[in-house]
Amino acid sequence: MNDTSTITAAPDYAVIKAKQNSAWASGDYALIGTTLQIVGENLAEAMDLPAGAKVLDVAAGNGNATLAFARRGSRVTSTDYVEALLEKGRARAQAEGLDIACQVADAEKLPFENDSFDAVVSTYGVMFTPNQLAAAREMLRVCRSGGKIGLANWTPEGFIGTVFKTLGKHMPPPAGVQSPALWGSEEWIRSSFGSKARKIDVSPRDFVFRYRSAAEFMHIFRTYYGPIHKAFLALPEDVGKALHVDLMATIARYDTATDGTLRVPSAYLEIVITKC
């Protein structure tokens, strides 16, 4: 009897992460990242950590959560696998006289001992790891018992979640890799963290993108936002034009401004997990 079953090869995470690293290092994400600072501030308030708490920021980018927690007296270690972004965060901290540690690190294999931190956080960062369950396990591993894990993740149905879907329509992700917006699903969060959580608080929130126009938004994201920047560089001209049209349609769908400027609320989940 012939075996007609199909065997799907596991994703090559090393290759995928190398391409992701190149994408995030392209453009200048920090110019966009700084506009999201309020998300880190809100998460720091929601977690309500005591001064002196030892905090790990995973996939920290240019340091929004790092700065927010450091401003509240936490001892923060800021990590990312893109060294140039960590340098941006370090410069921001130095400008404010904040003492932080920075370390290049892979979110799927954190270089820290078990139970090393009072809190582990990530704002729009760890959700982009290709091996999502491995990253979730690592956050749990390095957080001490009774400590907290704080996340801000774009939802699948919100504006940025729809942007991910639009990108995927024109440039499908590697086989076996799921959308980053999975981290913005409460069901996935509870299934991935719940077995080791004493409590999970999930709060729906919106971050509002504000630009002078939809055209300015597209210019900024095509020029500086790594994944979109790289997509347009890689796609044939006709496919790139189709992607541009689809992205502009997505912007128009979510834009609530009535004066010619851009005001786009994008749904995300603010998540605070207390580890058992």
- Per-10-residue mean pLDDT for the chain, 276 residues long? 50 78 76 95 98 98 97 98 95 98 97 98 96 97 98 98 94 85 98 98 98 97 91 93 97 98 98 98
Contact between residue 127 and residue 241 where contact means Cβ atoms under 8 Å apart: no
pLDDT given for residue 3 in this prediction = 47
Give the start-to-end residue ranges of the domains of the chain: 13-208+266-275
pLDDT given for residue 5 in this prediction = 44
110: left (phi over 0), alpha (psi -120 to 50) or beta: beta
- Rounded Cα distance, 27 and 52, in Å: 35
- Whether CATH 3.20.20.80 fits 13-208+266-275: no
- Rounded Cα distance, 76 and 73, in Å: 9
- Rounded Cα distance, 84 and 27, in Å: 11
What is the phi/psi pair of residue 264, to 5°? -120, 105
The H or E element containing residue 249 is helix 237-254
pLDDT given for residue 242 in this prediction = 97
